[in-house]
Amino acid sequence: MNDIKTIQDIFVEFGEKFRQQYNMSKEQVKAFNHIKRCRTEESGYHKIVCENCGHEKITYNSCRDRHCPLCQNFKKEQWINDRKSEVLGSKYFHVVLTLPKELDNIILQNKREMYSIMFKAAGETVKKLCEDKKFMGAMPAITVVLHTWGQNLEFHPHIHMIISAGGLTADNKWRKSSEKFFIPVKVLSKVFRRKFMSYLKENYKNDELSFYGQAEEYKNINKFKILVNKLYSINWYSYVKRSFN
């Protein structure tokens, strides 16, 4: 007997109780309903008929929601295969960049803006450090993926980067980096923090962020400055895994 529960099973069993206890955005409610109904009678069905023997098979419709684990598994495998075709004949480093929990409430209310900042800050961080001859002195191949939750399914936005252990120099020649050492995590974290915070403050100054609910206090510029000072004072977690094939 398989006791492993799917996300859909959890939504069916506990979803309504969760909705009564917590506020959900329109987008979240839409995704919740799609996942809950996916490949069930509520989503309707289509009939497959064999032209030779006339055998009929009823199959429930998929929701095709991009958040649905059932629907996106095929696309996930397809995406992985597409990325495999882009792999260079080089070893790669696995880099992870995370944000402090203190930013969660702001991120939840400004996903588009904050995720955009994450990508820009991550890309610029790696580009800047890789161009430094102390680390690589070249521009590597980089694949960047955003994850918004952790293994425990709690909100945990972080960036995964797969970076080639070598890259092109300014004169378009391949330079191989050390396969055992990439960039010190402390250096990586500090540069990422500096670039992320620069964009965050710029967005705040340009009034491009929304603050309500648990983040409403940051409408007050003094409260926001206190948060900024705290973010500068704490360590930001980064991870670099040694090169792999």
Does the pLDDT of residue 110 top 60, yes or no?
A: yes
The span from the CA of 135 to the CA of 178, in Å, is 8
Regarding pTM above 0.75, the answer is yes
pLDDT value for 221: 95
Long-range contacts of 112-115 (CB under 8 A, 24+ apart): 113/203, 113/208, 113/209, 114/157, 114/200, 115/146, 115/157
Please say whether the beta carbons of 138 and 175 come within 8 A.
yes
Name the percent of the chain lying above pLDDT 90: 40
Res. 77 pLDDT band, cuts 50 70 90: confident
Amino acid identity of residue 93, one-letter, is F
Res. 1 pLDDT band, cuts 50 70 90: very low
CA distances from 229 to 74, 223, 225, 232 (A): 44, 10, 6, 5
Mean pLDDT of 216-225: 94
Domain ranges of the chain: 1-78, 86-244
The span from the CA of 82 to the CA of 15, in Å, is 35
Instruction: Name residue 59's beta-bridge partners.
Output: 46
pLDDT in tens, 21-30: 888 888 888 9
